[in-house]
Structure 1
Amino acid sequence: MADTQYDVIVLGSGPGGYVAAIRCAQLGLKTAIVERELLGGICLNWGCIPTKALLRSAEIMHYAQHAKDYGLKIGGTIEADLDAVVKRSRGVAKQLNQGVTHLMKKNKIAVHMGEGTLTGPTSLTVKGAKGEEKLSAKHVIVATGARARDLPFAKADGKRVWTYRHAMTPAEMPTKLLVIGSGAIGIEFASFYNDMGCEVTVVEMLDRIVPVEDADVSAFLEKSLTKQGMTIMTGAGVEDLKVTASGLKAKIKAKDGKVAEQDFSHCIVAIGIVPNTENVGLEKLVELDRGFIQIDPYGRTKSKGLWAIGDCTPGPWLAHKASHEGVTAAEAIAQELGNKDVHPHPLDRSNIPGCTYCHPQIASVGLTEAKAKEAGYEVKAGTFPFIGNGKAIALGEAEGFVKTVFDAKTGELLGAHMVGAEVTEMIQGYVIGKTLETTEAELMKTIFPHPTISESMHESVLAAYGRALHI
């Protein structure tokens, strides 16, 4: 097949790749995207979105089981129909996959389905249903993402040992589930299966769960999940995992150093990710550190014309970080190709929010109190509990708090950390504040609507300065 020439080719169509392609097209560049599996990548098809659909089902189940707390009677037993729950989640993923397909057509982006391999910084071959195609471009953006890391002594088999992908389409409901790792993925699945009536044990190597969060959030979440019936083991490690005829035998070394063998029906391994940077032709073209492509603040690699974004580059490995990098790289490419109207901004890592959709939810941006002190700041921190918030009490969701961290000298907002109902929707207020380089003065002067849970954000700022009104 004859060579096909583009301005930009994007390798990978996840939230980094497809957004980069759309921005390139908006800027008038002839753009193509190469995808080996499904448009939308892991996030839309197997990650962020379908997991939220599963968690929504679990949340509805939780409310139904607690209907009497709201003065409601629901007759009969409330049961989860696992097949129907999974089917709904897959339907949501399919709808979004079709949405991305539509966006590609709308923006006149050529889609090449198949396995892409770089033959140089700006050329690649695609092996797909059409055979082999040779493509070349002025610029190539690598957005190949990442996959789940396996346990060295227990590879995921999809039957008993699962990664997140198996956990999303289970053939059967686990009865006793072991979750290894308590980052966002591990905790979300632990929360889902616990709400669905499964007995869940979480094992975390570090001294607290959700270790990237503020220590107060970790402590609160552990208490809450334990109250919901989960077994949480921190400072612990799984030393061996054997598949048996009826399930799994796990040797777990507890915090005190004692090793005990326990039986489980299934196990979810959520111990991090491995970048998809092998077998793509990258080895001689880029600098790799533990498999991750090293880039400048705009996404440039060491080879001219070759860019990289998203989970195949250094973290945090979040969909919204990938999308942001995609826009930055697209605009930097357009600028290199002579567009004087674009002004790309490099990513500010301190303003990337993180959200975990367990029950209760957690959300954060910026520095934790400990990290702010480590960085040499004199800190003012304020916490406001949801029990002091009228809307939270009315919703029957009075569990949670908001914590804000300020530079005592300048009043700069350094970080915000929340746990409780709807906090993943509220964090954006602080992200905007941080992006605008806000201080406590502007936040105090901002009028928050009543009654909303977001008022606790205002109160938390006031609390940092000894001015909270409702505690």
Structure 2
Amino acid sequence: MATSPQQWTADDPQDAAQARSKLNVWPLDEHNAVLLNQVHPKEFQDATPHEEYDLIAIGSGAGGLVSSKQSARRGAKSAMISEHLAGGDCLNVGCVPSKALLRSAKAVAAVRDAAQFGVVIGGDISVDFAAVMKRVRYCRAKIAPADGHVGTEAAGTHVYQGRGVLTGANTVEVNGKTLKFKKCVIATGGRPTIPQNVPGLEEAPYITNEQLFNLEQLPPRMVVLGAGVIALEMAQCFALLGSNVTVINRSSRLFESKQGDAEAAAIIQKALESHGVTFLSNAKITKVTTIDAGCSESNKLPVMQVTVNDKQDLGCDCLLVAAGRSANVENMGLENAYVEYDLGKGIVVNDFGQSNTNPSIWGVGDCVADVPRLTHMSGEMAKMVVQNALAGDDWKLSSLVVPAVAYTEPEYATVGVVSQDAAAKQGLEVDVYRAGLEHNDRAICEGNNVGFCKILCKKGTDEIVGATIVAERAGEMINEVSLAIKNNIGLYAIGRNIHSYPTTGEAVMGCGVQYINSKLPRFD
């Protein structure tokens, strides 16, 4: 097995400088040292290569980890190439740190709203932002061993730490070594999309989610470019923690570009506004002026002026660009391996996850064109690809039912066809069954009874084609609907299924009861 003779050491100036410049991770405290020792050990010693691997995964996020570990557990000769931080975006700059940060923000909201529950807290609420971020780093370090190199090797996978470049139809080079493979899974993920042709943006000290969780000071003024999931979650979070936050949305309302439910959009926007977020709709940044570039090493925040629609100037100390994602497919030798790809969108694969132009290559996750860019999608695609590539099976992308959640408060969860607008665009006629939370007993007791569950069925039937849920725990509720769609369980069965009382999940049952009631015989 590979070993790492040296460890990252907390507060060591040389280690700190290297972690900042090479890996974009700071401060190097005890928690970030634990993280890096797991996901990017110092002076890592690569494995001794097999003559040929059954499967090599290029990338070490969810897709690469699942592909390589599952292959090894089946007895295959497996390898994983990890260039940056194992665990990918999810562990390091996405799902994990954002949810840890949101938990602190929700604690602030709970304290502010405590009086409605008869709990009186004297004095002003203060937020220790340094302590908040330290907890974020602790949570990330706590979870890191699940994605770290030691655990991957323990599963039987050879780990190589470096950049993998395809050199032929069945070869990849890493750290000067040429590795041969029968199958290769490309799981290189994605990166934030930076808008082009905005004067001053390229030179400005903006940040993306890749730098956000390194912040050591709470920015007094934050401007968020974009209105997707990352943008909304972090806007609400930083507003609750004390920042003055403005969201720049190119559309006229939230979720418009994906034909999202208009009622859901209104509820989510109103909730964020109640926490201090300002929205500018039908808006775009037309100029960024850097007044003071700041200095990350001394924790001095920058000062910028953002011009919106050529007429409105906003001062900000943190410009968060959250305007979508682009696939990582450049400069990795895809042309050498005859792999078709679309720059920005990703690798082109068939319904089995296999390259159309090289049957030895498979794609997983955010680097693949036209698939949902979600961690659980990457993991599920990896399971599918391993089954198809190694077992000769025929699991299909088109069979996957993929829920998505924005972890705002309340949460916004969707699966399948999410609205009547979306259905109409697909030429699908639907019936919509809606159960609101205004009379849901659990939601009333929790003090958060604004929201709903909407389930869409093919017109005249109980065949579920999609759903939108807005609720405190919508992300948990949507799973029942996803299971029903995947297994062809109709809305009638959901209505007949006993749900625990009192739960907000009863709203899902409520849609089923509506369907049942619509079919009951009437007596005059």
1:419 is the counterpart of 2:470:
yes
Q: TM-score, normalised by structure 1?
A: 0.91
Contact 2:491 2:512 in 1 (8 A): yes
- 1:309 is matched with 364
1:45-89 residue CA offsets vs partner (Å, 9 max, x unmatched): 111111111111111121122222221133443322212211211
Identity of aligned residues (%): 28
Match of 1:177 in 2: 222
Contact kept in structure 1, 2:283 and 2:308, CA below 8 Å: yes
Partner-residue secondary structure (3-state), 1:365 = strand
Structure 1: gaps of 5 or more residues: 337-342
Who is 2:166 aligned against?
Answer: 118
Q: What is the one-letter code of the residue matched to 2:389?
A: I
Say whether 1:40 aligns with 2:93: no
Distance 1:464 1:191 in 2: 36
Which of 430, 444, 448 is equivalent to 2:499? 448
Distance apart, 1:461 and its partner CA: 3.2
Aligned to 1:51: 98
1:273 equivalent to 2:273? Answer: no
Offset from partner CA, 1:112-169 (integer Å, 9 cap, x none): 1111111113211112xxxx32221111111000111123235577x84110122222
| Paired position in structure 2 for 1:357 | 407
* Structure 1 residues 156 and 148, CA gap change in structure 2 (3 angstroms): farther
Query: What CA RMSD, in Å, does the superposition of the two structures yield over aligned residues?
Result: 2.1
Equivalent position of 1:340 in the other structure: none
Q: Check 1:247–1:466 CA distance in 2 against 1; reply closer, same or farther (3 A cut).
A: farther
Deviation at 1:239, TM superposition (A): 0.9
Change (3 A) 1:160 1:467: farther
Aligned ranges 1:84-123 → 2 under 5 Å = 84-101=131-148, 102-123=150-171
Aligned pairs, number: 453
Residue 7 of structure 1: SS of its match in structure 2?
strand
Match of 1:286 among 328, 332, 339: 339
Please name the residue that 1:328 is paired with. 384
Counterpart selection for 2:186 from 128, 134, 142: 142
**Structure 1 residue 326: deviation in Å?**
0.5
Question: Equivalents in 2 of 1:377, 1:409: separation in Å?
Answer: 12
1:215 maps to a residue whose letter is A
Distance 1:422 1:111, change over 3 A: same
Matches of 1:425 and 1:156 in 2, distance apart? 40
Higher strand residue share: 1
* 1:31 maps to 2:82: no
| C-alpha distance in structure 2 between counterparts of 1:259 and 1:466, whole Å | 54
Tell me the distance in 2 between the aligned counterparts of 1:63 and 1:144: 39
**Cα pair 1:350 1:365 within 8 Å, conserved:** no
Query: Which residue number in structure 2 is paired with residue 224 of structure 1?
Result: 271
Aligned residue for 1:405?
Answer: 456
* Cα displacement (A) at 1:179: 0.6
Which digits, 9 at most, give the CA deviation of each residue in 1:339-359, with x for residues without a partner?
A: xxxx44212367210111112
CA contact 1:378–1:409 (8 Å) conserved in 2: no
Corresponding residue to 1:345 among 384, 395, 406: 395
Task: State the one-letter code of the partner of 1:451.
Answer: P
More displaced, 202-211 or 31-40? 202-211
SS at match of 1:151: coil
Picking from 474, 486, 510, the partner of 1:435 is: 486
Higher normalized contact order (CA 8 Å, seq sep 6+, divided by chain length): 1
Deviation of 1:20 (Å) = 1.1
- Counterpart CA distance in 2 for 1:144 and 1:24 is 18
Cα 1:388–1:349 shift into 2, 3 Å? farther
For the 8 Å contact 1:121–1:140, the answer to whether it is kept is no
